[in-house]
Structure 1
Amino acid sequence: MANLDPEAVGARLRTVRTRRRMTLAEVSGDTGISVSTLSRLESGARRATLELLVSLARTYRVSLDELVDAPATGDPRVNLKATEYPHGSVIPLTNRVGGPRAFKMVLRPDGREPDPRSHEGYDWVYVLDGRLRLVLAEHDVVLGVGEVAEFDTRTPHWFGCADERPVELLSIMGPQGERMHVRARPRRAT
C-alpha cells in the first residue's frame, strides 16, 4: 500500500521538484496550484488530493506511484517452476485441473534405452529445437523442428534425444479421447 502520510508525500514532492530543478513559482505557473498550497503540500501541512497529485505528476513527468512512493507491483514476467529429472526438465504451462494441460520439456541426452510405458490420456508433441526420438509401439521415428506427433497414451510410448544434443518440445496432454483440433485454414462464412 502506498504511503499517503502527508509528510512522506510532501518529502517526495520536494525531492521530485528539486530533481527537476524547478522552483515553486515555476510549478505554480505550470499547474495553476498556488505557491502557498505547493509549499504546504511539501511541508506536510496539507494532505494532497488526487486532483493535485495528477496535475503535479503531469508537470514532473512521473507516475502517481512515484509521487506517493507506492511499492513496486512486482515483476510482470511469468516465472514458471521447472521440475528437474536426470534426463531433463518439465515446465508446466497450465495450472488447470482436468482437461488438456500444456508442458514445455527439455530433454538431455543420457544414453537411456527406450522403456515404453502407457497411461490414460492423449498426447500432442511439437518439437521446438533439436531432434526427438519417439518410440510408439512398433514405430521408432525421429521428429525434427516443427514436426508434430499425436497419439493415444494407452499405446506404449517413450521419447528422448535422437542424437547427442538436447531436444526442446511442447506437449499437450489431455484426458482419454480428447484430441487436438487443428485447422489449416479458417472456415468459410456461410
Structure 2
Amino acid sequence: MAQELDLDAVIRRRIRGLRLARGWSLDALAARCRLSPSTLSRLETGHRRIALDQLMPIARALDTSLDQLVESPEDEDVVIRPQPSSTPGLTTWLLSSDRALHGMTVAKMRIQPGRPPAPDRLAVHPGRDWFTVLSGTARLHLGERVIVIEAGQAAQFSTMVPHAIVAQGGPVEILTVLDHDGERAHLHAEDPSGDRLVRGSAGRPEPGGVDRASAE
C-alpha cells in the first residue's frame, strides 16, 4: 500500500513538473486535456484520486506516454551492476545500459601488460575513441606514434588511424566511451585474423584475442 501511495505521489510530481517545464498554467494544460483547472489542481496536489481515464489525456497533452508517466521509481533504471567479462589478459565491465547515451557505450577495461603490437596488427575502424586512465600507465600505439597516457590523463583519436592500447609496466585500468563502430570492434567482433584490438604478451594468448602463431 505504501509503494502504491509513493507511486501516486511520483505521478503527481511528474504531471506538475512537465507542465511547469513547458511554461503552462493549470488553465493551459486543462484546456489541452479537456479537464477543468480545479480538477487538474486537485490531481496535482493529491486532493483527488488519479484515474486512468484522466491520465491518458494528460499524458497526450504533455507529449509523453502513459507508460512513462506511471513508470515505477525503482532504481533498476538508474543503477547499473556491471559483471566482468574476461578474455586472456583483458577484463571488461559494461557501465552503460543498451538504451543509454544515444547509442554510446561506456566500459571499464583492465589490460594486462604485454608486448608491443606489430604494425600490421594495429586495428582500424570508423569513428573516434576516447578513454581515460584510471590507474596504471597505458601506451597508445597510433600509426607510427607511441603515446604514453598516465593515470588521470585522457586520449581522444580517430580510429581510422591504426591503433592499439597496451599496458605499460603493470596492469592498466581505463574508462572508455565507444560509439557503435568502436563497441563492435573492441567488445564484439573479431578481425579476420581472429585478433581483437587490445594486444598483449608473447608466448600466450594475447589480451582480448588469440596469439597469431597459435591461430595460424
User: Structure 1 length normalisation: TM-score?
Assistant: 0.48
Give the greater-gyration-radius structure (CA). 1
How does the TM-score come out when normalised to structure 2?
A: 0.43
